[in-house]
Structure 1
Amino acid sequence: MQRIEQVGDVVGRWFPVIVLIAGAIAMAVPETFASWSPAVPWLLAVIMLGMGMTLRPVDFAYIARRPVAFVIGLCAQYVVMPALGWLLTVLVDLPPEIAVGVILVACAPGGTASNVMVFLARGDVALSVAMTSVSTLVAPIVTPLLVLLLAGRFLPVSPGEMFFSIVQIVLVPVILGFLLRRWAGGVVDRVTPALPLVSVVGITAVVLAVVAGAADSLLTAGLVIVGVVVVHNLAGLALGYAVARAFGLDIGARRAVAIEVGMQNSGLAATLGTVHFGPAAALPGAVFSVWHNVSGAALAGYWSRRPVVTEPQDSTTRGG
């Protein structure tokens, strides 16, 4: 298992490069991987099962300790990115399926890699874990409603069908993983070191399937998609930090909120695009999957070299 953990660490560090290579391979020989699309929901379900296996009851205790910081962060998660996604689809003339894909990324919960990035950035890891966990648990309700509100002008949206998809591929696996940790903690502890490797393999397979299924759309609108994804992510990181600062949260919490807001569960966005709208709608999620790991790692590296200074706060601005 130690060997697997070492391999997982190496693969995790090279994850953006691995996914980029996977995307290039899928573009070169799309017929090889286009048939993988039906497996995309199952791949995400396995990743979500792994996320659930890392959760503990203490991870939710943060909400009681610092409710203000948590509420600010969670609201920013589901307001900042959806607003930015909608604005980008207004400003940029995108094909309907790709515009819906941008909205799907915008309305997704926090990405699982964000917790690692916050740790590296010397941010508030407990807040990060709480935000990722709860934003994921409420996603079956919040994500379909936001997508209906923001993407209904592009394509028909069925929030009920999307609700059941998210329950099946996100909520059920996360809860099952959480229960497995409670009931079989010893076994889970032994397999936990392999979970990063499983996640990398799963996301890489999703990217192969998504890019292969929409290779023609990527050829015609690839640069536009990349540009929109980059702007969306960077603006999310910046506004997440700005919101946390405006409400007087400490620096560690600001870093956590910024990364949580800017890093989305792009695998879920790609899966929902594949299942409900078509291959092209999954492309923004696939591209986001690569880019947000690059930008998140770069920002975490920058913040890791800057001290976390405790700033004086009064009782009206303290985050909980």
Structure 2
Amino acid sequence: MTVVTKVADLVGRWFAVLVLAGALVGLLLPEQTAPVVPHVPLLLGIIMFGMGLTMRPADFTVVTRHPGTVLLGVLAQYTVMPLLGWGIAHAFGLPPLLVVGMVLVGASPGGTASNVIVYLARGDVALSVAMTSISTMLAPFVTPLLVLGLAGSTLPVAAGDLFLSILQVVLLPVVAGLLLRTFAERVVSPLLPLMPLVSVTGIVLVVAGVVGANADAVLGTGLLLALAVVVHNTLGLTVGYLVGYFGRMPESARRAASVEVGMQNSGLAASLATTHFEPLAALPGALFSVWHNLSGAAVATYWARNAPGDAEEAAEPERP
């Protein structure tokens, strides 16, 4: 178990590089990786179950202590990124399926790696966990409505089917993991160090499969779409930080808001796209998975060298 734990820790540290490698494998070996696509929902369900295992009821106590901060952060998650995704897709003149894919990325809850990035960035981890958890719980209800409202005029959107999919691959696995940890802590605790290995493996397989299924599209429109994804993520990180700034949050909370808004559960977006639309619609989610882990690692590295000083924190008004 010690060797496996060390491997899991190593995989977690090289998350961004491994995801990028998965994308390259998908591009170079499309016939071998494309068959993964039908299994994307199952892979995501496993990842979300692992996320549930890392959660505890205590993670939600920040909601009672700082309800205004959490509410503002979650509201930003479900407004900033969906609108940016829709606007950027149209500004870049992307075809309808890619517009839907961009909206799906923006309308997804917080990313599964965001809590780690916030921790490395010396941000407010409790706020990050609360925002990820709450946005994930709300996803079955909010994500279908956002996709219907923003992309419904582009392509037919079955909001009810989206609701059921998110319920099956996100909410139920997360709740199952949370309950298992709550009532079987002794059994679950030894497994927690292995969760990075499970999550990273799942995301790498999803990215490789989606890129492989869309290898021709990546080569044809990849540069333009990649630029759109980079702009989407960069603006999300920036606007998320500004929401914290104008919301009078302390610096550590601004960092958490920035990462939570800018990093999305792009695996969910890819899963929904492959299930309810066509593989091409999953391409923005796959590219976002690659890029936001790279940018998240870069942001965390920068902020890790600049701790929120006690003086600065004291000068900030109390959170709402």
Deviation at 1:179, TM superposition (A): 0.8
1:14 and 2:17 matched: no
Offset at residue 313 of structure 1 (A): 4.0
Q: Distance between the aligned counterparts of 1:211 and 1:307, measured in 2?
A: 37
Give the equivalent residue in structure 2 for 1:258: 258
Please show how residues 212-291 of structure 1 align to structure 2 within 5 Å: 212-291=212-291
CA contact (8 A) 2:98 2:283 kept: yes
In 1, Cα distance between equivalents of 2:42 and 2:98: 23
Could you tell me which residue of structure 2 aligns to residue 31 of structure 1? 31
Q: Confirm or deny: 8 A CA contact 1:67 1:319 kept in the other structure.
A: no
The 5 Å alignment of 1:153-172 reads 153-172=153-172
User: If the length of structure 2 is used for normalisation, what is the TM-score?
Assistant: 0.97
The CA distance in 1 between the partners of 2:2 and 2:153, in whole Å, is 51
**Retained in 2: the 8 A contact 1:4–1:193?**
no
How far, CA to CA, are the matches of 1:120 and 1:98 in structure 2? 32
- Equivalents in 2 of 1:215, 1:145: separation in Å? 30
Q: Which amino acid aligns with 2:107?
A: C
Equivalence for 1:312: 315
> Structure 2: which 5+ residue stretches go unaligned?
none
Which residue pairs with 1:134 in the alignment?
134
Cα-Cα RMSD: 1.0
Listed as ranges, the matches of 1:35-46 within 5 Å are 35-46=35-46
Where has structure 1 moved over 6 Å in runs of 4 or more?
none
Q: How does 1:79-158 map to 2 (within 5 A)?
A: 79-158=79-158
The whole-number CA distance in structure 1 between the counterparts of 2:28 and 2:255 is 38
Cα deviation digits, residues 105-152 of structure 1 (max 9, x gap):
010000011101111111100000000000000000000000001111
In the aligned structure 2, how far is the partner of 1:109 from the partner of 1:135?
Answer: 5
Aligned to 2:69: 69
User: Structure 1: 5+ residue runs without aligned partners?
Assistant: none
Residues in 1 aligned to 2:258 and 2:217: alpha-carbon distance in whole angstroms: 31
Q: Secondary structure at the match of 2:167?
A: helix
Greater Cα offset, 248-257 or 6-15: 6-15
Query: What residue is the counterpart of 1:295 in the other structure?
Result: 295
Q: Are the aligned partners of 1:266 and 1:285 in contact in 2 as well (CA < 8 Å)? A: yes
Instruction: Please report how far the alpha carbon of residue 215 of structure 1 lies from its aligned counterpart in structure 2 after TM superposition.
Output: 1.4
Q: CA deviation at 1:2?
A: 2.7
SS at match of 1:307: coil
Say whether the 8 Å CA contact 2:144–2:163 is kept in structure 1.
yes
> Deviations along 1:155-209, whole A, 9 cap, x unmatched?
1101000000000000000000011101211111011110000001101111121
What's the offset of the Cα at 1:31?
A: 1.2
Deviation at 1:153, TM superposition (A): 2.0
Matched residue SS, 2:315: coil
Query: 1: CA distance between counterparts of 2:237 and 2:96?
Result: 26
Letter in 2 for 1:272: L
Measured in 2, the distance between the counterparts of 1:116 and 1:307 equals: 16
Please give the alpha-carbon distance, in whole angstroms, between the structure 2 residues aligned to 1:90 and 1:99.
Answer: 7
* Aligned pairs, number: 317
